[in-house]
Amino acid sequence: MREIHVSKITETVKQLCMDANYYLGEDIKNKFYEFKEKETSKLGKEILDILIKNSEIAENEKMPMCQDTGMAVVFMEIGQDVHIVGGNLEDAINEGVRQGYIEGYLRKSVVKDPLDRVNTKDNTPAIIHYSIVPGDKIKITVAPKGFGSENMSRLKMLKPADGVEGVKKFVLETVKEAGPNPCPPIVVGVGIGGTFEKAAFLAKKALLRSVDEENKNPYYAQLEKELLEEINKLGIGPQGFGGLTTCLGVNIEVYATHIAGLPVAVNINCHATRHKEAVI
């Protein structure tokens, strides 16, 4: 049994909140350059250049690349041989978010009650997903999620008869309906299978995978590729002004499901698709 003090967890979460908001992922940067070569819209190319420049300013000046620094979504993969000491785990995570958002000059975008809508002023509480895994370490991933793109996400309980064509149709409809709203170019996370809530979780989790890494199952890797091509034929383009570069990557995660169902969730993310991780 390895002991990990809660202060280490707080410190790590705090740093990840800031890093995720300041530093654009290398995978995304590479996609910007790749698509800039292929983009035929002049304005589209200019917008990709602006987004590259924006990421450089954010990195150099340690300022958030986007003003919507998101709701902090925290994934905790806790080794079963870890013993957490020194306090309450959930409090430690929220304290990390609080410190990260205050000390890192990040926006406080969380309201305590969805109808009463009073700001908590420290961006807590976080959305926390726990899983217990083998080993004696903790892997912490912080994925701040902006709501311009979150609001454009959808979930649908398809019929088994709808099959893969039904899945494709739903993903394309969702992206088309979102249009310019989620700040394209976007990244699309798709969760297929499980139950109502599992599909949504899978779609969110899919966004943590690098956009240059495909699904390990060749069937779904091919589906990711096809969906990316189909989405980029919609012509929405950077910021919705027309062009090839609507989507930088489609990531799919799947799980077993019920004989009567085919749940599909589409979680749309903006170009920044922020996530940073650390193992302690």
Partner 1 sequence: MQKRITTPLTNECIEDLKAGDSVLLTGYIYTARDAAHKRLVELIEKGEELPFDINGQIIYYVGPTPAKEGMPIGSAGPTTSYRMDPYTPTLLEKGLKGMIGKGKRSLEVVESMKKNRAVYFAAIGGAAALTAKCVKESELVAYEDLGAEAIRKLYVEDLPLIVVIDAEGNNYYEIGQQEYKNSIK
Residues forming the site for partner 1 (CB under 8 A): 40-41, 43-44, 47, 50-51, 53-55, 57-58, 61, 63-69, 105-109, 117, 119, 121, 148, 151, 179-183, 235-237, 239-244, 270-272
Smallest separation (angstroms) from partner 1 to the CB of 86: 30
Shorter beta-carbon distance to partner 1: residue 183 or 203:
183
Nearer Cβ to partner 1, position 2 or 233?
233
Minimum distance from CB of 185 to partner 1 (Å)?
Answer: 9
* DSSP string of the chain, one letter each residue: -EEEEHHHHHHHHHHHHHHHHHS--HHHHHHHHHHHHH---HHHHHHHHHHHHHHHHHHHHT--SSS---EEEEEEEEETTEEEESS-HHHHHHHHHHHHHHHTT-----BSSTTT--B-SS-PSPEEEEEEESSS-EEEEEEEE-HHHHTT-EEEEE-GGGHHHHHHHHHHHHHHHHTTTT-SSEEEEEEEEE-HHHHHHHHHHHTTS-TTS--SSHHHHHHHHHHHHHHTTS---GGGSSSS-SEEEEEEEEEEE-TT-EEEEEEEE-TT---EEEE-
Judged by beta carbon, residue 43 or residue 208, the one nearer partner 1 is 43
**135/242 with CB nearer partner 1:** 242
CB of 173 to partner 1, least distance (A): 16
Q: Would you say 40 or 80 has its CB closer to partner 1? A: 40
Q: Cβ closer to partner 1: 87 or 242?
A: 242
Smallest gap from Cβ 71 to partner 1, in A, equals 14
* Shortest distance (Å) from residue 21 CB to partner 1: 9
- Cα distance between residue 50 and residue 66, in whole Å: 13
Per the CB < 8 A criterion, the answer to whether 74 and 13 are in contact is yes
Minimum distance, C-beta of residue 88 to partner 1, in the bound complex (Å) = 27
